[in-house]
A and B are shown apart, each in its own frame.
Chain A
Amino acid sequence: MLDIILQAFAAALEPMNLLFIALGIALGIVIGVLPGLGSVTAMAVLIPITFYMSPLAAIAFLVGVNKGGTSGGAIPAILLNSPGSPEAAATAWDGYPMAKRGEAFRAMKFSLFSSVTGDTISDLLLIVLVVPFAAFALQFGPVEYTAVLLFSFALIAGIAGDSPLKSGIGIFFGILLSTIGLDPVASTSRFTFGQLKLEDGLSLSALAIGALALSSVVIQLSDLITRREKDDFASNQADTKAGRSVSAREFFSYWRTLIRGALTGSLVGMLPGLGVTLASFLSYSAAKRASKNGDNFGKGEPEGIIATESANSAVVGSNLIPTIALGIPGNIAAALLVGALVMHGVVPGPFMLSMHGELIYGLFASMILANIFHLIIGRAGLSLWVQFARYPRRLILPPVLMFCIFGIYLPTQSLWDVGVMLAFAGLGILFTRARISIVCTVIGFLLGGMFETSLRQALLLHQVEGISILASPLALVFLLLTIAVLSRAIWRSQKESNKSA
């Protein structure tokens, strides 16, 4: 065993492998910054290039792209309030207010450091717990998934926006949108009205970029045009060292949030399908409830950024647990990695660790090394990205529309998706101004398909085998938690309205 680990580290430390890891991270960050082009698109585009690499270099390169892309999405979220991907939406809640009051550099540092820390914790967990945790993941059937998703919806409704009722409307509107296309069981059309383009449903990236990133940019531009906001973002930026720096002591004073975020991300990541976005919102919610500065969340609290970024980066490592142990990809990024593994003659599944142990442990070693590169390259890049905060908003915001069109058109070459993005930017404007959380709609859409499938499977199990929700202790716990979270949200909302009355 020790021999294999040492050999794996030796293979991972080969100069070509290190070069590809560094290249993957740099490309991932740059692509992650562009709205619409997240880590998944970057991986999909770059997979054919890896055909000419050794299996270890190829997988390490793609893991680097995934790591860089996941943290890169936080940069536009902080600088422009325009998250490059849905998982960075919660980063914008605290990152943008921090940037607005002149702490853009500090916010980006918090984001990068927590991303790397969360990722490292998750990678270590992956190495130690890959086999036993995979068995735990198998405990999750449709009943448990339904309960977990209900719990997540309740949590998100409680933290997003100013009214749980409006957030509930947002979530179920997103779920309704997710039903457009073919029915997952009967394969009949729903709301397609004869349009073939609608049979696959609406594109997630077009909807998310339109509703989250583009709508935020349009709102900021509209406020500038109508003089509701002053263009003082650039002049506010701190020039003193104290206003830009984050000391190790300050960063690690949030160690509880960091570890909680990394564990939340790792736990969500190892359950196939739940994904990065859910991890970041669950972690944000948990941090808000646990923190003594909970009231400052959403107003520029570094803890909010740390909670989100440590969780969403932790998913990158842990979603490989079901991939390696069971051959079940945890999310789209893991599915693309499976594709790359197959391309290099490695069949993912329970025997992968015994048959290709050297490659898998080499991958683990590369992931640890990638975190060091991520820190170095990411930190060097921050000095470049922060320059964008020094230009007036009126020059920085208008080109975002063209980047959004570019980002959405490139993967599918479809003008239809561009139209969907522009339409959902309109919905984003409407919802944001009406104070209905558009983030809830995007999350409802993102998880709606899975919620429908698991609910229908759970009902079918109940019908055929008589399995009820009460038979599963895990599901029961999550359902009780859902009731507790909803009761608390209603009680708080009632208390606030009594206070304002």
Chain B
Amino acid sequence: MIDQKTCTQDASDRFDFLIGAITVSFALFVIFLLIPVGVETTTYHSQLSPGFFPKLACIFIGLFGAMLMFKNRHWALRRIPHNGSRILLETLAWLAWAIATMLLLMYVGFVVTAAVSCFTGIVLAGQRRYLIRCALGSILLPLALQQLAWHAFYIQLP
């Protein structure tokens, strides 16, 4: 039991080291690449540059990231399995779902998108009984919202 707990703690510390490294890289990327490209400068000399505040925020992000790396430096070179890849996979799965939702919203509208997403979610989450009722509910709820938006606020949902 203690071994398992220590193992989880080690994995978490190793993962924190990686988070620190990613954070520092992100801060450097924003300071040296994104701010020079994405922030317009002015010739108005008595004011601080528009890039000052984003740079300040990034310096603190980088600083905290470096401190996180330093705190967990003992795990830098140890190959301990951690949750990073699973988290990345989960986030990517959500992004795929989100892109599909946006495309459906743009091309087939709110009612179909909401009905499909709601029913799929219910089935994926483990509902196996009363599926016809669930499907009906998944269609009626967005229809009711669409009618509410139109009749109460005169807003046409996509």
Contacts and interface: CB of A to CB of B under 8 A. Distances in A.
A406 B38 contact: no
A397 interface: yes
Interface stretch (A78-86, A172-180, A306-314): A172-180
A190 to B, nearest CB: 5
A176 B138 CA distance: 39
B4 interface: no
Nearest to B126: A394
Contacts of A133: none
B157 A225 contact: no
A52 interface: no
Contacts of B110: 402, 405-406, 409
B124 interface: yes
A125 interface: no
Interface stretch (A162-170, A280-288, A343-351): A162-170
Given A188-B40, A429-B91, A224 B125 contact: yes
A395 interface: yes
A415 B106 contact: yes
Given A166-B19, A224-B125, A179 B101 contact: no
Interface in A153-196: 163, 165-166, 168-169, 172-173, 175-176, 179, 183, 185-186, 188-193
Nearest to A493: B71
Interface in A266-300: none
Contacts, number: 174
B156 to A, nearest CB: 8
B75 to A, nearest CB: 12
Contacts of A172: 57-58, 60-61, 64
Given A179-B54, A425-B94, A394 B122 contact: yes
Contact of B125 (A168, A221, A403): A221
Given A402-B117, A406-B149, A410-B153, A395 B127 contact: yes
For chain B, give the interface size range. 35 or more
For chain A, give the interface size range. 35 or more
Given A406-B157, A433-B83, A191 B38 contact: yes
Nearest to B48: A456
Given A188-B42, A497-B71, A415 B48 contact: no
Interface in B57-116: 57-58, 60-61, 64-65, 67-68, 71, 83, 87-88, 90-91, 94-95, 98, 101-102, 105-106, 110, 113-114
Contacts of A409: 110, 157-158
A401 interface: yes
Contacts of B71: 165, 497
B58 A190 contact: no
B64 A190 contact: no
Contacts of A397: 121, 125
Interface string B138-158: 100110010001000101011
A242 interface: no
Contact of A193 (B38, B95, B106, B120): B38
Contacts of A403: 145
Contacts of A392: 127
Given A190-B39, A425-B98, A165 B126 contact: no
A401 B117 contact: yes
Contacts of A460: 47
Interface stretch (A66-74, A87-95, A200-208, A416-424): A416-424
30 contacts: A45-B153, A169-B19, A169-B64, A172-B61, A179-B57, A185-B48, A185-B50, A186-B44, A186-B47, A186-B50, A188-B50, A190-B50, A193-B38, A218-B94, A221-B125, A394-B127, A398-B117, A398-B138, A401-B117, A401-B118, A402-B118, A403-B145, A405-B110, A406-B110, A418-B102, A429-B91, A433-B83, A435-B12, A456-B47, A459-B48
Interface of B: 9, 12, 15-16, 19, 23, 30, 34, 38-42, 44, 46-48, 50-51, 53-54, 57-58, 60-61, 64-65, 67-68, 71, 83, 87-88, 90-91, 94-95, 98, 101-102, 105-106, 110, 113-114, 117-122, 124-127, 134, 138, 141-142, 145, 149, 153, 155, 157-158
When A and B form their complex, which 5 residue pairs have the shortest distance between CB atoms, in order from nearest?
A398-B121, A394-B125, A402-B114, A422-B98, A183-B50
Given A172-B64, A190-B50, A395-B134, 10 more contacts: A169-B23, A176-B54, A188-B42, A190-B54, A221-B124, A225-B124, A398-B121, A406-B145, A429-B87, A430-B91
